[in-house]
Amino acid sequence: MTAPFTARKAARRADNTPRPPCVLAVASGGGHWVQLMRLRPAFAGAEVHFATVDRSVAGAVAPAPVHVYPDANKDTPLRLVFAALKLALIVLRVRPDVVVSTGAAGGYLAIRFARLIGARTMFIDSIANARDLSVSARLAQKAADLVLSQWPAVARATGAAYRGAVL
């Protein structure tokens, strides 16, 4: 499961220095994106790629690459298919060692595809979900290495982990 992560982490650049881990940070727009931006310091020292539904955020994370996928959810099944295809391509092109998502559907899809290539994965449910996990987080519990809730009571009730709040 973690062999690709280990192999890439151990890879070296042309000048024989270790290559930093590659992180794909995924979030839809609005609050999901804001929470992902609050996590940026945790990615220090890594090669970071962002994936989101809003192309206009590219300036906020420059020079990091931004990959755009269609905004979709369970109520827009056709768009969800297109989002899944685009996210599969993003994961295959970026080949991340780690995928971190703050939601929503796109983050779950990226985690599913990343697991197929051996990447480590983490889904952080939105702070807005104070009573239960979101649909995406519940689905991610079956696929991600780690699912976090930002509420201790929700974590206890759902089996998610709690490590504090992003906001």
CA atoms within 13 A on the CB side of 67: 24
Architecture of domain 23-54+64-162: 3-Layer(aba) Sandwich (3.40)
Cα 29 from chain centroid?
13
Diameter of the chain measured on Cα atoms: 51
User: What does the pLDDT look like over 74-121, one tens digit per residue?
Assistant: 999 999 999 999 999 999 999 999 999 999 999 999 999 999 999 999
User: What does the pLDDT look like over 10-61, one tens digit per residue?
Assistant: 566 677 778 899 999 999 999 999 999 999 999 999 999 999 999 999 999 9
pTM above 0.85, yes or no: yes
| DSSP helix, strand, coil percent of the chain (3-state; round to 5) | 40, 20, 40
Domain boundaries, the chain: 23-54+64-162
